[in-house]
Amino acid sequence: SCADCVSQVTSYDLVSVICHHGTAGGGHYTCYSLNCISEQWFEFDDQYVTQVSPETVQNCEAYVLFYKKSSEAMGKLRHRAVELTELSQNEPSLMQFYVSKQWVNKFNTFAEPGPIDNSDFLCAHGGVHPSKEPYVNQLCTVLSQGVWEYLYDTFGGGPACNRLYACMSCQQEQQALHRRIKHELDVFMQLNKVEENPPVIYAIAMSWFRQWQCFVRGKELGPPGAIDNCSIITNKNGQMVLKM
């Protein structure tokens, strides 16, 4: 409902149209799409791309419509950010700030980018997680102090970052995790070879075991948690028994 909507933007621009040619059982699809830089419409028909007029798009029989939020205020904010960036090139600031490229992309394309979010390259301690250190420059971009302060005052969020460093706390946690993985895997392999015909057999849910496998093979960052056998046991007369 309108009462539940948290968006402040209420205007939308048409940016693309998909058309279907043929019957319900089969046919052919074409697409009209707007080039946001040149403001020209183009028709995409398999390998053929043709420039068309807005009237052509307006009169087509649409199958699917694509809209993008429209915000004049956001356009002004982007323009001001560009001005501050150009000023900073002539007057280099003493400090520079690192900001998520993912969020900057939202700022450049979204009508409502939301608060600055640097959590995709910063850990909870404000540093760079060891696993992201080799490619952290692919995750963030550098802004001058003036541009950062403008964006932060406008959108909030963060955290602010003016220095990239490997987080020692995360490194210690990662080393401890690697030791745990090695220990669990070694013990599992050892116990698995002890007896071929053990007198007692215990059942573990395959779903939980697969999670543990992913953990010790490095496919999951964290351990699977406590063993969960809910999927393979049932309550029968007050006693938990294996589902058959």
Q: Is residue 220 part of a domain?
A: yes
| pLDDT given at position 5 | 64
CA gap 49, 58 in Å, rounded: 18
Measured between alpha carbons, how far is residue 218 from residues 34, 206, 211 in Å? 44, 18, 11
Instruction: With beta carbons less than 8 A apart as the criterion, state whether 95 and 145 touch.
Output: yes
| pLDDT given at position 137 | 95
Residue 185: partners with Cβ closer than 8 Å, 6 or more residues away: 216
| pLDDT given at position 4 | 66
Q: Is residue 30 part of a domain?
A: yes
Dump pLDDT digits (tens) for 136-150. 999 999 999 999 999
| pLDDT given at position 211 | 92
CATH of the domain at 152: 3.30.2230.10
| pLDDT given at position 55 | 96
Q: Is residue 41 part of a domain?
A: yes
| pLDDT given at position 3 | 59
What is the number of structural domains in the chain?
Answer: 3
Dump pLDDT digits (tens) for 175-217. 999 999 999 999 998 888 877 777 888 889 999 999 999 999 8
* Bond into 113 cis (ω within 30): no
pTM: 0.71
Q: Is residue 169 part of a domain?
A: no
Q: Which domain holds residue 192?
A: 174-242
Taking 50 as the pLDDT cut, the residues of the chain under it are none
